[in-house]
């Protein structure tokens, strides 16, 4: 089940980064904005199996932990590729290596999702998105 979920998610994310609206900075920010918009409209975060299961099952099932780690690593890799392409196209700027930045941005967003679920507030997502915007700037800004 997890492998199918992540395969589908990876495909949607790869398509979003490859052919979404705007430049690579826009596409990365839209990735985060979509979750925030959904939360504001529906009051819930749906579809993110990682958020829902990570804290619960990682200590209980090594197979599920491994599948989730592989799935999350795939998301991080796709995000790192988008950051790298955006940097090469000069549509976004950030410090450090793309993979390291992607790991930090993914962890930030995962934590913000969890906190939004706990608080039932969009504030953690809004704060995280503001931080993401400050981390991946427009070149020359």
Beta bridge partners of 137: 93
pTM beyond cutoff 0.85: yes
Please state, in angstroms and rounded to a whole number, the distance separating the CA atoms of residues 15 and 13: 5
- The domains located in the chain, with CATH, are 2-135 (1.10.357.10)
What's the rounded mean pLDDT across residues 61-74?
89
What whole-number percentage of the chain has pLDDT above 70? Answer: 89
| pLDDT tens by residue, 48-66 | 666 666 767 767 888 888 8
Q: 3-state secondary structure string, 56-84?
A: HHCCCCHHHHHHHHHHHHHHHHHHHHHHH
Tell me, what's the pLDDT at 98? 98
């Amino acid at each position: 089940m997890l492998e199918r979920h992540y395969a589908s998610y990876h495909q949607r994310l790869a398509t979003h980064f490859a052919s979404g609206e705007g430049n690579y900075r826009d596409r990365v920010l839209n990735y985060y904005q979509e979750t925030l918009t959904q939360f504001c409209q529906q009051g819930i975060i749906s579809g993110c199996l990682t958020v829902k299961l990570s804290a619960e099952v990682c200590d209980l099932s090594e197979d599920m932990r491994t599948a989730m780690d592989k799935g999350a690593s795939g998301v991080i890799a796709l995000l790192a590729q988008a950051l790298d392409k955006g940097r090469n196209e000069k549509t976004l700027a950030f410090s450090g290596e793309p993979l390291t930045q992607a790991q930090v941005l993914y962890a930030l967003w995962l934590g913000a999702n969890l906190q939004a679920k706990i608080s039932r507030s969009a504030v953690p997502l809004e704060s995280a998105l503001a931080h993401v915007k400050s981390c991946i700037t427009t070149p020359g800004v």
